[in-house]
Chain A
Amino acid sequence: MEKFLMVVASFPTVLWSILLGVVCLYWLLAVIGMLDIDVLDLDIDLDADTNVEGLAGLMVTLGLTGVPLTIVFSLLVLLAWLVTYFVSLFTLSWFPGGWLSILLGIPVIVLSLLVAVPLTAQLIKPLKPLFKKLYHTPAQRSLVGLKCKIRSMEVTPERGEAMLSLDGADMILKVKTQGGAVLKNGETGVIVEHREAENDYIVVPEAEFEAHLNN
């Protein structure tokens, strides 16, 4: 125990130990936040869109993206601390102490980082899909090529309404035809184009669409 405390408190390890303490404190507060909502926001998560050039590039290079930064940082600190600690523990007797030992400690820290970064990258790999889902924004689904049912009396090049079901949600769309074709109420049309400007859709009769496909 004495030895553990001594090693933890001694130079190369003490750096990681302080950071680990901060991490522990953060997670402790997060856990408390479970019980008490609206905790102080200590989230320093960086969104994918945030342009922190150097760091982000480095992160991407190291394969440390895709999960919240807190988790990455926490794991990195923990692993580095472990490496440093064990190195210090087994080479303690060689260190004479003083500033020489500090000189010797810097390579140890670098070494610990070299070990911890790939290990962290490996550890966070299974967590990536979970967080990817969480941060995924629903894309505007394209309706082109889907079938719709005409619900107005008729669809002309001027006006018309059609309805289509998408994932259980009924959508009522403004549809128009091209080239003078007319669709009657209850018929099925196929959406072939979406015009952003008028926010309407061009439909063609189903039979015509099928014929087109076969050709």
Chain B
Amino acid sequence: MDLSIVMPILVSVGVIIGIILGILALFKAFYIKVEQGQALIVNDMSPKPKVHFTGAMVLPVIHKKEVMQISVITLEIDRRGKDGLICKDNMRADITVALYLRVNETPDDVLRVAKAVGVDRASSKAAVNELFNAKFSEALKTVGKKMDFLDLFENRIGFRDRIVEVIGDDLNGYVLEDVAIDYLEQTPKAQLDPTNILDSEGIRKITEITAGCNVETNRLERDEELAVKKKNVDAQEQMLELDKQKADAEARQKREIETIQAREEAETLRVKEEERLKSEQARIETDEKLAIQEENKQRQIEVAAKNRERTIAIEEERVEKARELEAVNREREVAIESIQKDKAVEEEKKIIANTVSERIAVERKVAEEEENIKDVQRLSEAERHKKERILDAEAEAQEELVKEVKRAEAEEQKATHKAREVNTMAQADLEASSKRALAQEKEAEGQKALEAAPGLAKARVMEAMAEAKERDGLAEANANQARGLAEAKIIAEQAEAIKAQGLSEAVVIREKKLAEAEGLKQLGTAEAEALRLKGKAEADTLRDKGVAEAETVRERGIAEAEGLVQKFKALNNMDPGAIEFERFRMQLEVDLKQMLEAIEANKSVAKDQAEVLSAALSNANIDLVGGEGDYFNSFAKSLGLGKAIEGMLEKSPHLKSGLSKLVGLADGMSEPADTSAKSDGAK
């Protein structure tokens, strides 16, 4: 790249940067910015200075800048004591008024102030004060003299307006923003000059008003005191009343508490005593049981001791018994041997006696058989009689029985109760006696054991003797038996003979009977045949007869019809008397037939009725003598019920009277009602 091309470009860039920097520098150096509340007045080359409220370029040499305060300025005017403001009503007031001055933010106003006052003085509060103080004081006096003292307080806008009015436009471009009465009081009376015309009037007015006010104030104060005192007294009274109530309540509460405590203590004591009673009872019961147990133990010990003694005694006795038994045995064996000898002798004698007794027995048997036949005949007759009598007796007996049974049942129930009573009594007795018996038994056993020993010995001796006798008897019986057997054999042989004879007889009889039966059979068949033939013949004859009868009837009917025809003909031909007679006769016949028919019908009806009755009666009979006995039961029951009612009535007078009343009610309902009504009236 050729430097000759580059360099000028570089130079241009440098120059442009320089220019930009320069412009910035100029701005920094010459652009004046102003704060709010100030105005910048720039005197340039033109005849009218420029007013800026924000900022402007102020170039050196050719421009002149001035900054003026345009914010609010406060001026205070203070008038007190002798210099106090005289009001319309000649009152003097100590007053401090704050006046707020401002410049309108318009170039014209700013320029007017700047020209009239000057920028420096306008920006200084003291200068402004010096400038306007006299003017404001004058305005204040003028306005004050136009207003009453109290109006100053109430009509501030009016006050300000008047001040503005008085001051007018003579503020050199300033405007009066506001007027504030900072301090306003009536001047103290002491500072007023009584010789001053205006002041003396003010003093008079003040005195007038304050005196009245003070009097009123005093009255109010006294009233207040009175009210306070009254209220205090009332309060005190109420407090005392409340104290009294409180004391009352406390005392009552205390009393109630004590009452409750006393009650509770009493209750506690009572419960304690009850508990002690229970515990003492338990202790006593325990002692009692213990004592009883002690006694029982003692008894058991004694009983055991007695038992021991008894067993010892028994053992001793047993030893004794054994010894004696051995002695007896020895004696018995000796006796048995001697008896054996006698027995052999007796046996021989017994064989002889047996044979004799067998013969006698056979004879007795024969006689017995004969007697048996007679007995049988008589017995059968007697049986028949007995049966008749039994049936009669049974009927009676049953009737009797039913009655008896019912009575018995009642009695039984009574008896059962009695029996139970007795039973329980008896059981009690039994238990007692059994206990006694047991005791006696035990005793007896002891006794028995004591006494039995010699008895037993005797018994053994007897037993031995009896055995000996038995042996004798046996021998005798054997002998008899042998004899009897012999006799029996004889009789058996006789019976065999008789049987053989009987058999032969029976065969003969059977043959005979068979023959008879055969004969009878043949005869029967013959008879039957004969009968059949006879029946047939009869039937034939009957049929013939029927046919013949029918024939005859037909013929008769025809004949009668003919006869009637002839009769009627004859009747027609008859004289009236005869006709009458004929009619009467016919009537009679008809009547007779009717009577006969009626009798027949009655008879069959009667028969049917009789049959029905008989059937009914037979049923009734069955009911009466029936095995079930329902009829009797019901009958008996009714009887029983009747009796029971009767019995009850007899035994209970109340029931009787009730029943009689009922009967009376049934008889006449009105009477008892009347009496009851009467009784109600009496109450």
Contacts and interface: CB of A to CB of B under 8 A. Distances in A.
Interface of A: 1, 3-4, 7, 20, 23-24, 26-28, 30-31, 33-34, 37-39, 41, 43, 45, 47, 49-50, 68, 70-71, 74-75, 78, 81-82, 85-86, 89, 134-135, 137-138, 140-141, 152-153, 159, 161, 166-167, 169, 171-174, 185, 198-199
Contacts of A43: 59-61
B636 to A, nearest CB: 136
A23 B45 contact: no
Interface in B86-116: 102, 104-108
A49 B44 CA distance: 10
Contacts of A199: 108, 169
A34 B175 contact: no
Contact of B44 (A1, A47, A134, A172): A47
Contacts of B57: 134-135
Interface stretch (B17-25, B181-189, B393-401, B620-628): B17-25
B52 interface: yes
A149 to B, nearest CB: 13
B494 interface: no
Contacts of B161: 152-153, 161
Nearest to B112: A199
Contact of B106 (A26, A33, A39, A141): A141
A119 B15 CA distance: 16
A162 to B, nearest CB: 11
B22 A26 contact: yes
A71 B23 contact: yes
A79 to B, nearest CB: 9
B157 A185 contact: yes
Contacts of A78: 12, 15-16
B29 A24 contact: no
Nearest to A1: B3
A202 B519 CA distance: 195
A159 B4 contact: no
Interface in B226-278: none
Given A34-B24, A134-B31, 19 more contacts: A4-B8, A27-B19, A30-B26, A33-B25, A33-B29, A49-B45, A75-B19, A78-B12, A85-B8, A134-B56, A134-B57, A138-B51, A140-B108, A153-B157, A153-B158, A166-B105, A172-B175, A198-B169, A199-B169
Contacts of B158: 153
- Residue from A7, A27, A135, A153 whose CB has the most chain B CB atoms within 10 Å: A27
Interface string B167-204: 00100000111000000000000000000000000000
Contacts of B157: 152-153, 185
A174 B167 CA distance: 13
Interface residues of B, number: 50
5 contacts: A39-B29, A43-B59, A49-B45, A140-B106, A172-B176
Given A89-B4, A134-B31, A74 B19 contact: yes
Contacts of A153: 157-158, 161
Contacts of A24: 14-15, 18
A50 B46 CA distance: 9
Given A49-B46, A138-B107, A23 B28 contact: no
A214 B591 CA distance: 156
B106 A23 contact: no
Nearest to B111: A140
Contacts of A41: 60-61
A30 B45 contact: no
Contact of B3 (A3, A34, A166, A169): A3
Given A27-B21, A31-B22, A41-B61, A171 B15 contact: no
Contacts of B321: none
A47 B3 CA distance: 41
A172 B45 CA distance: 31
B7 interface: yes
A71 B61 contact: no
A31 B25 contact: yes
A50 B25 contact: no
A34 B25 CA distance: 5
A175 B353 CA distance: 202
The 9 closest A-B pairs by CB, nearest first: A34-B25, A30-B22, A169-B105, A27-B22, A27-B18, A3-B4, A172-B175, A4-B7, A171-B104
Given A4-B8, A152-B161, A161-B164, A138 B53 contact: yes
A82 B107 contact: no
Contact of B102 (A49, A138, A140, A172): A172
Interface string B54-65: 001101111000
A80 to B, nearest CB: 12
B538 interface: no
Contacts of A31: 18, 21-22, 25
A155 to B, nearest CB: 11
Contacts of A152: 157, 161, 164
Nearest to B10: A4
B165 interface: yes
Nearest to B107: A140
Interface string B23-38: 1111011010000000
A140 B107 CA distance: 6
B29 A71 contact: no
B175 A28 contact: no
B50 interface: yes
A144 to B, nearest CB: 13
Contacts of A70: 22
A116 to B, nearest CB: 12
Contacts of B176: 172
B107 to A, nearest CB: 5
Contacts of A45: 59
Contacts of B22: 26-27, 30-31, 70
B7 A34 contact: no
A171 B106 contact: yes
Nearest to B51: A138
B45 A47 contact: yes
A24 B25 CA distance: 14
Interface in B379-409: none
